Structures are given as structure tokens and as C-alpha cells.
Structure 1
Amino acid sequence: MRREASGFVRHVAVGLLACASASFAQEAPLPAPAPAGSVAPPADIPFVAADAAYVRTPSAPNAWGGPRTGNEPTLSDRVVSYRIQARLDAARHAVDGRQQLTWRNRSDRSVGAVFLHLYLNAFEGEGSLFFTERRLLADDDTRGLAQLKKGEWGYIDLGTVEQDGAPLTWRYVHPDGGPDTDHTVVRVDLARPVPPGGSVSLDMAFHAQLPKVVVRTGHVGDFNLVAQWFPKIGVLELPGERGATQPRWNVHAFHFNSEFYADFGDYDVRLSVPKDYVVAAVGEQQGPPVIEGAEATWHFAQGDVHDFAWMAAPGYLARETTWSGPGSPPVKVKVVYPPDYAHVAGPVLKAATDSLTWFSDTLGPYPYRTVTAVVPPFNADEAGGMEYPTFFTVDHARRVDAGTLDQYLIDFVTIHEFGHGYFYGLLASNEFEEPMLDEGLNEFWDDRMLRARDQRVHLTRRGWRLFGIDPAVDVFSIERMGAALGAPADPLGQNAWDRLSSDGYGTVYSRTATAMHDLEARLGKHVLEKAFRQYYATWHFRHPAIGDLQQVLSDVSGQPAVVADVFDKYVYGTARIDDRVTGIDSVEVLPLAGSSVRDGERIDIGQDVNDAAIARQREAWAHAHPNAKEGTGPFPWRTTVTVWRDGASVPQILRVTFADGSTDTVPWNDDRRWARFTLTRGAQGVSAELDPQGAVLLDANKLNDSRTVEPNHAASTRWSADIAALLQGLYTWLGTL
């Protein structure tokens, strides 16, 4: 999901998309659930800790069935399958569904109860954990702040649940200790336990009422984004998987700042909608829709994914193409859009196909046959910028002119949401507990793609160009602006909800991208890319933890100390960097008056004699070098640079520039609070700069990284000229009114 609370979006533009939010409403009488309350799971299978976060311990080699070689009968080790039949009540924005959920017990013990997510109940009322945390954590520019009124709430009602025809009882539980009024997780007690290695099939009915769009799902007008809409089983983790030492249920409630985590499986879904509606969804469409009376039933199927979402709306159009690449099947790439945004479809289609090429080349082949992007309609911004396997929603704009901020945002959101297909979809990390592995790493890889395209961020929209204002910045420089480098509140590896604020969660995007940029600078671009290719090869269709990422980076790079330094300081800690140049002084090294021994005799040289000798040497040198630059001459210069370190140490390079245009570099790679470097050269030192290659973007203040011997007003002069040009343009425009 693309965030609004941090990173370059908040700093360079207004209106980057949010993600929609869903809920569902009751239609038929339902059997009464057991009383609400915090109920523990069976004693032998506990919940994962309510505050679970980063896992430093690498997983066992055989975790999740071991690495996928490509020779297995299925791409993933399918743990669950869903057979769903659903009908959309377009007038009420409600979905009635029946599903058969088949789940395999991978553990070595019998399982007497299973746990289901009812994510849409996050939006049934102010008492949910989602809204409780929103009141505590939300910032002014956080997405998901829509105020729901009567008739706009959403929820999912779980009806009958049967095991081989036997009705089962269920009850709400609170794995994270949330309020009793949160209904996003239920426990279902089985009539017969599932033996080790066995499977169970559960038949259930449910009713889902979409809310007005809040975040990730919902409806606006007659547009419906239907996501997190069906009862979804939690993940039973085994010893050696993500730090587990015994079987445990990983089934967190729906927090305000969190997304999802689920087993890989197989989906077969039939969706009945009004016959004039267009449907787009996860996976491959199985033939044309079947029309019966006023309805059409669309059939989609997809294996080896861990979620299913769809959209339905009348009047939508589609553009598509076919992409192919080494190791991948032919991929149908489709953009589904409302007619008002036809001009967005082409740029989105290009960005999606370019992303297929980039991610396939730099990480690994794309294994699915479809990619579908949905452009949300006007007033549905909260429905944009959200990812599901093979299916995502993007941004829209009134116009998309080449080289503008609007084009950049369209491209970036498309690239970002497609990229989730790898880091959220194929790698399937736990977004609840380790959002860095999805949002953070995806942001970094997106930025690398933009850097490879040499696509800079234009900070103004088209109209500003009329006034000569068109600043453009590289994407990593923009990322660090929103990374809260001066005072990070939480480690990058912290979970999604135990954070100071939503802004703190938002820094997962930019600060991870910045930290990985700096790690790349230390390891080398090609080494880091090789490591990420190995990370993907080892962990796709599994569920890596942060410790697994660290292990791969260490093993492939052969530099475990460098990797550990970055992870200890930023992933597991909140280190701050601020190195600066505090002084530079350059003096000419002249012969000195006094007494000295020459050729065995002591000679006294007075000041007058010494000065006259210096003057003669200067005159002779000037005669021989008529075009010499100021700051050069017959005598050497001693340049002394003082540097100061606030916060954690990091390897730095100090570059000193001299009056004759030459430069010299000095490494600073120790824990000293301050250091002083002296260089004697044939020309005066004129400036000193830390990190001349821009390798240390985690430095909180880059403005103090350099200093000159003489004051340099170039930056302030440039800004003054830009402001003057802007004012002149405005006055000219006003004069035409």
C-alpha cells in the first residue's frame, strides 16, 4: 500500500492516493454466536505474542517446506483452498457468499480449533481495534480518516459454519488484547480435530456489507472495491519458522496501521453482479461471464496466492497487452478504468509492463499469467494505491503531461503497487509484524527502478512551469526527506502497530529505502543486487523473516560485519547519524626566520632577510606562471579540516578541494567523536565535504556536510533568484487580469 503520512508524497505533492477500507451488512437472521470475550486457544497451540515484531533468528532450512526448486507439482506449498460463490447487491453494496475452506494441518499435533480473520468488522463501529487505535495514533495527513455516518459502516456477518454437515460453534477472540468490541478474529471449535498432516473442510455462509471507502476497500457511487471480504483462516506457524519454537497461531486482529499475512493456497471464485457491470479480480478469468436474466456470473481462478480481491462497476473500459520475459509465462497485462480517466490508462499500462521487466530482471521471473491494474473513479482516492496478488489499484490525475509531478506520481504508484506483487505477494512476509520486509523493501526496489530510468521527481505541477519554476530531485534524496532521520522513534523492524504515531509507521517506507541505499553503497550495487536475487530465489512462495534477509545479505556479500552494523543500528535500533564539517583552515607553509644548522654551520636568519627571500621566490614563481590561480604559488599549503560526529559512527569519506582544482580524499572510519585531518599540498585548500558521493543518506542533516574557506552564497543566491522569478511571474499574471 502506498502511504501518505511519510516519505516524498507528503513533502512534494498533495493528493497521492490512499487505500480504501471495507465493511459489510447483515441481510438474513443469523445463529447467535457464543458470548464475546477474550478466549485462549487450546493450551498446546498458543497465539503468537501480542507485541510480536522483528525476528532476528534465521528460519530453519526446511521452513515452509524448504526452498521451491520449480520441480514441484505446484508453485507453492498450498496450505488452504477457497471455493467461493458470491453475489453483489449493487444497490446496497453488499455481498452474500458461501465458501468451502479446506485447510491442511502441517503440524505434528491434532488441532481442535481454527481461527478466522473477519477483517471487515474493523469498520463496523467506533469500538473496533481499528478505530480505537485511530483515535490514538492518527496524524492529520494519515489515510483512513474518513468519518462514517449512519448507513456507511461496513462489516462481515459470519453465519453457519459446518464440518461435514455438523454445525460448529464460534466466538470472537482477541489475540492482541484489544477491546471486547473488536470482532475481527473468531475461534471455530471443530466437531472432530484435524490430525497431524490431515485436512478439514469447512462450509460457511457470510454476509459482507461494504462501507463507504475508508481504507483498502469500500464503495463510492456505483464503484465497488471488494477486499478483505471473506472469512480467512490464520497461519499456523511451526518450529523453525519466523522464530517459532513450537506451533503457534499467527492471527492478529486488524490494527489501524497494519496489513495482512496468510498461507498460500488456491482460489476458485464465482461472482454474480448486474450484467452491465465490469468485474476485475485476482487471477485468471475463466471464460466470458455467464448471463442469466439481469445478472452475469464471472469466474476467476488462481493458485499459489494468499488473498483474493475484486472490483465491480458499470461503464468501465479496459486496455491490455501481453508481456513476455525469460522464465515467465506470457502475461496478460490489463488496465481497467472509468472513461473519465482514459488518459491515465496508457501511462499505467506502460509503467506496469516496465515493472514486469525490471522486477523479473533484477529479482526473478514473474510466475503468474495476469497483472490487472484498476484506476479508481473520481472521489475514490482512498480506493487507490492498494495491492493484492496479480491485482492492484493505482492513482489518477486530471492530466498526465510528460516530465511533470502528475506523471511521476502515476508512474511511482503503479510501480509501487506492482512491486508489492513480489515483496508482499510472492515473498509473502508478515505485514503485521515485519512491515519493513514489504513496504520498506518494495519502496527501495521501486526507487532503484526509477534511478535506473534516470526518472527524477519534478516537484511542481504543469502550471508552475509558466513561471519558470521546475525543480527536480533524485528519488533517494526525496525519500530521506520523509525518513525522520533526526529523531527516529521506532526501529525499522518494529511491528506495524506498536509505534509512536502513524507518521512513525509511515517512515517504514522512506527510512528503509534510505537504509538499504546506504547498505548498497557499502556493499556495492552488483553485490547487493546479487544478494536480493538470492533472497527471492530462496524465499519466494515462503514467508521470510528479517533474520532471513540479514542472513542472505551476509552470506552473499561475504561482509557479515557490514550487514550487521546496518541492521543493528537501524533495523533493530534507532541510531541517528549527523556527521559534519565544523572547520577548515588553510595556511601557506613559509620559510621561517631563526637559527638553523646548514652544512655543519649555524646560521641566523633575521625576519627582514627571510621576508626578502620569500618575496624573491614569489616574484620568480609568478614570472614563470603568469596564469596561475589564486591560492597557488612556490610554497606548499597546510589545510586542516575538523569534523564532528553526533550519533552513531558510519564509514565516511572526506574530500578536500584545492585552489588548483585538484582533490584529495581521506577515510574517516572510526568511533571518534571528532577528528582533525591535515593535508599539505601545493595549493590552498578551498573546501571540504563529507560523503561527496552521496552514499550516506541516513545522515540527518546533509547541509552541514561541507564547508568552504571563503563564504559561498551560491545556494542562497539561487533560491533568491527562483523566488524572484516566481514573484515576477505572478505579478505579470496579475497584470493581465
Structure 2
Amino acid sequence: MFKNFIFLLLCPAFIFGLNKYLIELDFNLTEKALSGKEIITFTNTYNFPIKSLYFNLYQNGFQENSTLWKESSFLSRYKEKFKEDVYSYTEISNILFEKNKLEYKFVSPDDGNLEDKTLMEVVLPRTIFPEEEVELEIYFKTKLHKFYFRSGYDGDNLFLMQWYPKLCVFEGGKWKAHQFHSFTEFYGEFSDFEINFKVPFEWEIVSTGKIFEEKVEKEKKVKIVAENVHDIAIVLSKELKKIKKSITITQDNPIEINIFIPSEYTNKVPRIMEILNKAFNFYNDWVGPYLYSNFSLVFPPWHTSQGEGGMEYPQLILCGIRHFEGTRNLVLEYVIAHEFAHQYFYGLIGSDEVEEPWLDEGFTTFISSTFLEKYYGDIKIDMPLILKLNSIKNFYINPFIFINLNYYRDEGIGQFLLEGFQHPDYLNYRIYAYNKPAMSLKTLEKYAGEEQMKQFLQDYFSNYSFLHPHTEDLIKLIEKNFGIGWAQNFYNLANKPQLIDYSAEIISENKFVLKRKGEFYVPLQVKVIFADGTKETLNWDGYKNFQIFTFQNKKLKKVIVDPERKILLDIDPLNNISNYKKEKNNFFFFLFSKIILLLEGMLCWF
């Protein structure tokens, strides 16, 4: 409790959000739609006059001519599957400012698609000056589609995700205003929300924020209050069972846990709570305290989502029930750990998921993979039959490597600092937003040590909670914690397409060469084994592209660069070892090593 109190004193932004939303809703449960009156209180806390406001209407992305639909070829399968209610929309009926009706228009700055309606510009009749507070009233209707892409409805289940006109973020004298794209998620300003509505009494609700319910005849009057969050998600269901639990990390500070789950899976709740207890404690130790008082997990029914995988929202995550089944080890543990980690990297540290997705996905992948590594150890891999016949019955792999296997498909054509919608395909997005940043951070940890890595993450958390850090802020923090060399390495990774590869090659009986590809400079060890059985460890600064080493009176047997495997960014670990006279290799083990390095897409649903 004391740790949380001190943090709050140092973080005045926690007291209230920059914007305030008051939304009155009227549900049409038959039509699967809602009508709303949204009053936004916007304060110009910036040193710039503002003449327009920009809003995202994400549900308009689920229309056939939208940019999202055009970029996501897989969405067309839902048209074949559902036949009806494939599309959704948010339409605006009126916007009022100081009792005057305002005009609005849809804009498409990213691709010029005139039929895309996911970004709305509202031109104001006058300028909003710094420190001025204004109110805007927006009257809207949102119609939900059948459930897919982690939102919509199915039977008596409603998943309200990105369902309201959402004000964009103003930074550096301009609006960070983008359309809704296939490979991008969301970016919003920290705000306070109050949502009011009525539903039939038998409907259960979980959401971002705290829920207050009052029974009124056959209905219940619902008020949701969420403070200092940058989005609000609501799930309503007559089918899911709501189970309340709590977790206490610090004395006198219990966190309310709501698990929304199909009744046939309630026997999984102890396993879920075990994972959550470990995750809350781990992230509290490595990053910082969870600064809200509630958290919810939602497991959509199978007939709703077909077990669709995880997704994060402030104080709430979705998790596919398929992760309860099958033989794939620790998938449920990883999904929960990954999506909960987003409560820090995106939820509390509010980086830009659209323009700099590596700041949330990379850090989340790093910390959740490390969580799995610490609590669960190596993952057992089922052997192909050909390897079993060759007496290799069991194979175990480090979970950090397993989760980030896609990294080994890096072709050196991308960098971290790339807007999500600029990635040419989903694999490229996965590598440069998730896997390569995670492997970079793990390489940093292996060099600096676990305690220094924890201190760095805690500094990041304490400096940027409830703020919007960018890549340049992170690089400055890396320089402060680890020095100019590591800052330069991460600058290069963020800005320059490149492959990182260290290799060793024996070129004669007493001479070998070390090579480096890519602009990633770290000192490393080289283990040299001589023909007479003696060994020697050399230190190489790793700065030159190549360096030749010669021994006058000794014959070489084997050279191993980076023998402790600190540089996880090394794209081809197999060329780290060179034998003067090639030792007899087990063909099947060699084949399996290649298979492991080239495995792809094993965890692409997170």
C-alpha cells in the first residue's frame, strides 16, 4: 500500500483524466444496437490553439468499402459465413457546440479512401485556446455486427469494443488522427468516463471501471465509472456466468477480479486464478503496482467466437476458451500473461499503438515471455515420428525462444519504428512489432543482468504512467540506465532495416575469422578449443565487420562465438560454431535444429 501511495504522489496525472465522457445509452437488444448522447468535456492543456476536433468511429471499419475491410482479405469469409449482419456502423445524427449545430466530415489521411468513415473531423465555429475547457454533445447510433474481430453480438452476448465516438490524441501541435487499419490497434487520451443505461435484470455486465447497479422493476439501472483510462469496453450477457474473486498484492489493497465465463468451464477458475496471482505478483515486482482496483477476464462462448484468441482493453481482457483444450503446453498461461501485461504497456504506459506498436507489443511480449520462463520453465515439444525413430523422444525449448520463433524469419526488411499499417503483411508486423523488440530487450537483459533490467522497467513505469512516451523517450531512458552504446543499438534497431548475425569460420588449422552483420555492436566472448584439448576464451569488441585471429603454435579444433548465447538477436545461431575437421553430425538432430529455427506462426493469435 505504501509503495502505491508514494507512486500516486509522484504521478499527479492519476487524479483525473484529461477529457471527460458522459454517455447516456439506450439499448435496442432486439436490433443489437444502441443510441447514445455523448457529452465530452475537453480541456486544451496544450500550448496551441485548436480549431478542429478529430474522432475515430471504429465500427465503421466493418463496412465493405472501408480501409480495414480492403486491407483484411480474411474478413470476407465472415460475409460467406453469416449472410447477414456482417457489417456494423456508428452514425452521427447531431453534434452541438455551445448550442450550435456543427458540421462534420470523414477524412482519410492515410490512404485517401473516400469511402472510409472511421475518422471524423469536426470543424469548430471558434478557436479553443490553451487552458480553455469546452463541451461537445454528440448524438450517435451504433449497430453491432455478428461477433468477429473481437467485437459484436451473438445471441444473448454483446461485446461493445470501440463502440462510441472516440476523441483522438493531440500531441506536438497536431492531432494523431488515423483511420482504422488491419495491422493497427488503438490510441486514445487518458479520460474519465461515466456511462448510464438500463437493461433487463437478467443481463450480467463486466466492463472497464466500476459498475453500480440498481434494480428498477424488471430492469436494472447501470452506471459505469472509469477514471483515467484511454478507452472503455463493456460486455453484456445472459449466458456467461460472472464469478467474483479478489487478489491482494499489497496490504489493504485488494483488487476485484471478475471472471465472465461459460458455465461449463467454471471448473477452470482455480487455474485462471493461479495464473493471475502469479502474473500480478510478477509484474508488481518487475514493473510496478497495478494502479486500478478492478480487473476482468472474459471468455466468450465457443459458438460466439470459435475460441478466438486474446485481446486487451483497459482493466479487461478477452481470452479464447480454445486455450483450455488441446495438448499445446502453457498456451492459456501465456495468453493471460500477455494480455494482462498490456495493462502496463498500453494501459498505464499509454504509448501509441498505431504509429509505434513496438512500444506496447514488444515490451508486452518480452515481459510475458519472461514470466513464462520464470514460473514454468522449458516447454516440451512433441517429436515428429522420424525423430522418435532416431531415439530423440523428448525435446524441451526455452519458452522465450518458443514464443518468438517468428523472429528467425526476419529478412532484414523492416525496423521497429514503423506505423502498423505500413507493414506489408501480418508476418512482417509480428516480427517487427512483437518478436524482434522482445529479442532485443532479452539480449539487453542478458548483458545487463536481471536486477538492472527490473530497475529500467520500473523507471519506465514511474516516469511514463498515464503519459504517452515515444521511441525517443525510451532511447533516452536506455542511455540513462545502460549507456550510450545500448542507446545507439536501439536507435539503429528502431530506424534501420537490418539483419543481426555473428559468425565464426575456421579458415586454416591455426586461423579463424569472426564476422558481424548489422549495426548492433556489443562486446562478446569467443571460446576456442584446440586440437590438443586445451581451451581459451577471447574477448571481441564486436565493432568491426570482421576480424581475423591467428595462433602460431596451436592447431584449432573448434571456435564458438557467443558461447553463452547472450545475443538472442543473432539470426543464425548455427553459424556461431565452426569445426576445423567437421565432426560427424547426427543427421536427424541437424534436421530438427533447422526445423526449430524455421518454425513459423505458432502463436500468431495473441
Is this a same-fold pair by TM over 0.5? yes
TM range (shorter): 0.7 to 0.9
Residue 218 of structure 1 aligns with an amino acid whose one-letter code is G
- Does 2:172 correspond to 1:172? no
- Does 2:379 correspond to 1:445? no
- 1:88 is aligned to 27
SS at match of 2:346: helix
Measure how far apart 1:144 and its partner are: 9.2
Measure how far apart 1:206 and its partner are: 1.4
Normalising by structure 1, report the TM-score: 0.73
- 2:178 is aligned to 252
Distance 1:159 1:455, change over 3 A: farther
SS at match of 2:373: helix
How far does the alpha carbon of each residue in 1:75-98 deviate from its partner, in whole angstroms, 9 at most, with x for none? 155211111222333333222222
Q: How does 1:229-628 map to 2 (within 5 A)?
A: 229-237=163-171, 244=172, 247-286=173-212, 288-293=213-218, 295-326=219-250, 329-379=253-303, 380-381=305-306, 384-397=309-322, 399=324, 405-406=328-329, 408-460=330-382, 470-484=394-408, 486-507=410-431, 508-557=433-482, 559-568=483-492, 570-583=493-506
How far does the alpha carbon of each residue in 1:434-467 deviate from its partner, in whole angstroms, 9 at most, with x for none? 1011111111111121222243333449x99999
- 1:618 is aligned to none
Q: Which whole-Å CA distance do the structure 2 matches of 1:261 and 1:460 have between them?
A: 40
Residue 235 of structure 2 aligns with an amino acid whose one-letter code is M
Indicate if the aligned counterparts of 1:268 and 1:301 stay in contact, CA closer than 8 A: yes
Measure how far apart 1:372 and its partner are: 0.6
Residue 53 of structure 2 aligns with an amino acid whose one-letter code is V
How far does the alpha carbon of each residue in 1:328-364 deviate from its partner, in whole angstroms, 9 at most, with x for none? 9321122210123334433222222221111111111
Q: How does 1:88-167 map to 2 (within 5 A)?
A: 88-123=27-62, 125-135=63-73, 146-147=78-79, 149-167=83-101
SS at match of 2:462: helix
Q: Which whole-Å CA distance do the structure 1 matches of 2:323 and 2:410 have between them?
A: 36
Residue 494 of structure 2 aligns with an amino acid whose one-letter code is V
Distance 1:330 1:465, change over 3 A: farther
Indicate if the aligned counterparts of 1:640 and 1:677 stay in contact, CA closer than 8 A: yes
Distance 1:333 1:680, change over 3 A: farther
Q: Which whole-Å CA distance do the structure 1 matches of 2:141 and 2:118 have between them?
A: 14
Indicate if the aligned counterparts of 1:373 and 1:392 stay in contact, CA closer than 8 A: yes
Overall identity of the aligned pairs, in %? 23
How far does the alpha carbon of each residue in 1:674-730 deviate from its partner, in whole angstroms, 9 at most, with x for none? 433345799x754322221111121221122113345445553547899xxxxxxxx
Indicate if the aligned counterparts of 1:129 and 1:178 stay in contact, CA closer than 8 A: no
Indicate if the aligned counterparts of 2:54 and 2:168 stay in contact, CA closer than 8 A: yes
Q: How does 1:26-45 map to 2 (within 5 A)?
A: none
Distance 1:690 1:448, change over 3 A: same
Indicate if the aligned counterparts of 1:68 and 1:538 stay in contact, CA closer than 8 A: no
SS at match of 1:424: coil
- 1:61 is aligned to none
Indicate if the aligned counterparts of 2:323 and 2:332 stay in contact, CA closer than 8 A: no
Residue 367 of structure 2 aligns with an amino acid whose one-letter code is W
Which deviates more, 524-533 or 697-706?
524-533
- 2:597 is aligned to none
Q: Which runs of 5+ in 2 are unaligned?
A: 1-5, 594-606
1:182 to 93, 116, 127: 116
Which deviates more, 99-108 or 422-431?
99-108
2:548 to 676, 690, 714: 676
Distance 1:680 1:567, change over 3 A: same
Alignment root-mean-square deviation, CA: 3.2
- Does 2:506 correspond to 1:655? no
Q: Which whole-Å CA distance do the structure 2 matches of 1:445 and 1:296 have between them?
A: 40
Indicate if the aligned counterparts of 1:234 and 1:249 stay in contact, CA closer than 8 A: yes
Indicate if the aligned counterparts of 1:372 and 1:391 stay in contact, CA closer than 8 A: yes
SS at match of 1:405: coil
Indicate if the aligned counterparts of 1:100 and 1:201 stay in contact, CA closer than 8 A: yes
- 1:42 is aligned to none
SS at match of 2:302: coil
How far does the alpha carbon of each residue in 1:293-349 deviate from its partner, in whole angstroms, 9 at most, with x for none? 3x3333221111110001112231233432222489321122210123334433222
Residue 691 of structure 1 aligns with an amino acid whose one-letter code is D
How far does the alpha carbon of each residue in 1:590-610 deviate from its partner, in whole angstroms, 9 at most, with x for none? xxxxxxxxxxxxxxxxxxxxx
Indicate if the aligned counterparts of 2:379 and 2:399 stay in contact, CA closer than 8 A: yes
Indicate if the aligned counterparts of 2:413 and 2:498 stay in contact, CA closer than 8 A: no
Which deviates more, 101-110 or 655-664?
655-664
How far does the alpha carbon of each residue in 1:233-260 deviate from its partner, in whole angstroms, 9 at most, with x for none? 11122xxxxxx3xx11112111121111
Q: Alignment length, in residue pairs?
A: 581
How far does the alpha carbon of each residue in 1:185-238 deviate from its partner, in whole angstroms, 9 at most, with x for none? 11223355433211111222211111223323222343221100001111122x
Indicate if the aligned counterparts of 1:489 and 1:499 stay in contact, CA closer than 8 A: no
Residue 431 of structure 1 aligns with an amino acid whose one-letter code is E
SS at match of 2:116: coil
Which deviates more, 298-307 or 338-347?
338-347
- 1:641 is aligned to 512
Q: Which whole-Å CA distance do the structure 2 matches of 1:277 and 1:423 have between them?
A: 32
- 2:538 is aligned to 666
SS at match of 2:25: strand
Indicate if the aligned counterparts of 1:584 and 1:687 stay in contact, CA closer than 8 A: no
Which deviates more, 355-364 or 101-110?
101-110
- 1:627 is aligned to none
- 1:15 is aligned to none
Q: Which whole-Å CA distance do the structure 2 matches of 1:573 and 1:543 have between them?
A: 23
- 1:60 is aligned to none
Distance 1:222 1:77, change over 3 A: closer
Q: How does 1:690-705 map to 2 (within 5 A)?
A: 690-705=561-576
Measure how far apart 1:154 and its partner are: 0.7
Indicate if the aligned counterparts of 1:485 and 1:511 stay in contact, CA closer than 8 A: no
Normalising by structure 2, report the TM-score: 0.87
Indicate if the aligned counterparts of 2:529 and 2:556 stay in contact, CA closer than 8 A: yes
- 2:14 is aligned to 75
- 2:603 is aligned to none
Q: How does 1:715-734 map to 2 (within 5 A)?
A: 715-718=586-589
Q: Which whole-Å CA distance do the structure 2 matches of 1:338 and 1:73 have between them?
A: 40
Residue 434 of structure 1 aligns with an amino acid whose one-letter code is E
Work out which structure has the larger RCO, using CA pairs closer than 8 Å and 6 or more positions apart in sequence: 1
Indicate if the aligned counterparts of 1:459 and 1:473 stay in contact, CA closer than 8 A: yes
- 1:605 is aligned to none
SS at match of 2:72: helix
- 2:139 is aligned to 205
Distance 1:122 1:680, change over 3 A: same
Distance 1:661 1:185, change over 3 A: same
Q: Which whole-Å CA distance do the structure 1 matches of 2:533 and 2:375 have between them?
A: 32
Indicate if the aligned counterparts of 2:501 and 2:518 stay in contact, CA closer than 8 A: yes
Residue 521 of structure 1 aligns with an amino acid whose one-letter code is K
Distance 1:524 1:658, change over 3 A: same
Q: Which whole-Å CA distance do the structure 2 matches of 1:676 and 1:109 have between them?
A: 58
